[in-house]
Amino acid sequence: MKKIINKIFILFAVISLTQACDVEEYSDLNNPEVDAFRDNLTRGDLQDLVGGVLYSMRVRLGTYYDDLGVIGREYWRFSSSDPRFTADLLGKENAVLDNNTFYITNPWAARYRTVKNVNLILEFIEGQDVSAQFTDAEINATQGFLKTVKAYELLLNLNLTYQNGIRVETADENNLGSFLGYSESLTAIRALLDEAAGDLQSGGDAFPFTLSSGFAGFDSPGSFVEVNKAIASRVAAYQGDFSSVLTYLDDSFLTLDGSNLDEGVYYTFSADQTDILNPMFFPVEATTAGARIVQPDFITDAEDGDERLNKVAQRSEPLTFDFLTGDYAVFRYKSNTDAIPIIRNEELILLYAEANIYSDPAEAVNALNIIRNAAGLDSYVGADSEAALIDEMLMQRRYSLFAEGHRWLDVRRYDMLDELPIDREGDDVFTQFPIPLTENQ
């Protein structure tokens, strides 16, 4: 990251986000003069800059989700041009995760690029008198939105490196903060989210910029703070602080309603030449040149009648690569312009259920039944012990959040990695990725 973060680089997206504002023209939108923003940030500039953040948030997402999905044994990623998806990520024949390979360096750099972009915008806002352009409420709203994005991007990198940690303090590229361990990093991320929530609550009625359609319903400071609280509830769950999970959820967009599972915020995609396609989409009949094939246990472990199996599709014939064979393709995303969830209500209901396992088991069962019934399953009739409810909760998360980047993290935080299937003799299940080699250069 040192090489990346020392380059003052803001990725601009020439997309429809700017159509509501007057935007200044620059000779090269990919390499603008940073001093121009630092000295005179206009409303049009801010729209462009936020558009750049929304663009860079989606860069290398496919690699991030493949990292989690493959190691978490949700699916196999076949790629005849790069067998490391089925060799390194599956721990084939004593393979180790390389600290200088695309599956860690690319998503890691992309997330820190977004963090850097956020830091620069915050610097532009805080380093000059912008009162002629923005009200105090608009400044607070902007800071709250950007800090929430920053915290979320840091969390994604921490999901990869786990106990190896991340850098949280990165605002001064000449004096980067040291690496914090997993627990310290979660504490810092949660504190940043809490700070952002305070800004949003003082942010007035509207953002001084337009967000993408993926934020529909949460595109004002007052509504977006509910997203902030939802993300904070996820962080608190990772910390094992379940009383705080419930507190955050009280202020989030949680709705205990099985008909409202998809409400939330999303990464959006389009086929516009200036935009990005959904990197998680492959056709059902894709070849080994590029395919995501469901790990067979996902099919055989499912309860009869589970409608969430519509997230996979049976191929006309099995596909084999690197001694792995599967009949089903990942079909969670059914086109190259489908949205990918950032966080949605189905996850919040499951977080609510998880938190209540430790304080109100009956309420945990009620929440789990919302998920089960929405999936076409009968209500839960198992034991109400803590261990039994944890198993049931993890089972429901496995099917509800399939291919959304959760399974590996869930079994890891419950110390159940050894329960993931081993598909070939000599394969291994990794706990974490190494810190990229570029951090030491």
Task: Specify which residues 325 forms β-bridges with.
Answer: 320
Q: How far apart are CA 348 and CA 397, in angstroms?
A: 11
Helix 221-239, helix 345-357: angle, nearest 10: 40
Q: Which residues does 97 contact at the CB level (< 8 Å), separation at least 6?
A: 88, 89, 103, 104, 430, 433, 434
State residue 173's pLDDT score.
82
Name the residue with tokens 């055989």.
300
pLDDT 10s digits, 359-379: 999 999 999 999 999 999 999
Q: Residues 422, 154: contact at Cβ < 8 Å?
A: no
Q: Residues 73, 312: contact at Cβ < 8 Å?
A: no
Instruction: Report H helices in 165-211.
Output: 182-201
Q: How far apart are CA 117 and CA 53, in angstroms?
A: 7
Q: How far apart are CA 26 and CA 21, in angstroms?
A: 15
Is the pTM higher than 0.85? yes
State residue 29's pLDDT score.
37
Q: How far apart are CA 233 and CA 307, in angstroms?
A: 27
Tokens coding 185: 């990093």
Q: How many CA atoms lie within 13 A of 154 on its CB side?
A: 34
Q: Which of 441, 353, 433, 440 is nearest to 99 (CA)?
A: 433
Q: How far apart are CA 380 and CA 368, in angstroms?
A: 8
Q: How far apart are CA 162 and CA 185, in angstroms?
A: 9
Q: Residues 317, 337: contact at Cβ < 8 Å?
A: no
User: Residues 85, 86, 91, 92: is their CA dihedral positive or negative?
Assistant: negative
Q: How far apart are CA 438 and CA 110, in angstroms?
A: 13
Instruction: Report H helices in 202-296.
Output: 221-239, 242-250
Q: Which residues does 382 contact at the CB level (< 8 Å), separation at least 6?
A: 388, 392
How far the first Cα of the chain sits from its last, in Å, is 9
The values of phi and psi at residue 27, to 5°, are -65, -30
State residue 172's pLDDT score.
86
Q: How far apart are CA 180 and CA 164, in angstroms?
A: 8
pLDDT 10s digits, 81-133: 999 999 999 999 989 999 999 999 999 999 999 999 999 999 999 888 898 99
Q: Which amino acid, one-letter code, is at 83?
A: P
How many helices (H) and strands (E) in the chain? 14, 8
State residue 113's pLDDT score.
96
Q: How far apart are CA 275 and CA 273, in angstroms?
A: 6
What is the Cα 424 distance to its own chain's centre? Answer: 29
State residue 25's pLDDT score.
38
Compute how many other C-beta atoms are within 10 angstroms of the C-beta atom of residue 328: 22
Please tell me what DSSP assigns to residue 218.
Answer: -
Q: How far apart are CA 10 and CA 7, in angstroms?
A: 9
Q: How far apart are CA 389 and CA 395, in angstroms?
A: 10
Looking at 72-169, which runs of residues are DSSP E strands? 75-78, 166-167
Segments of the chain scoring below 70 in pLDDT: 1-34, 441
The values of phi and psi at residue 316, to 5°, are -70, -25
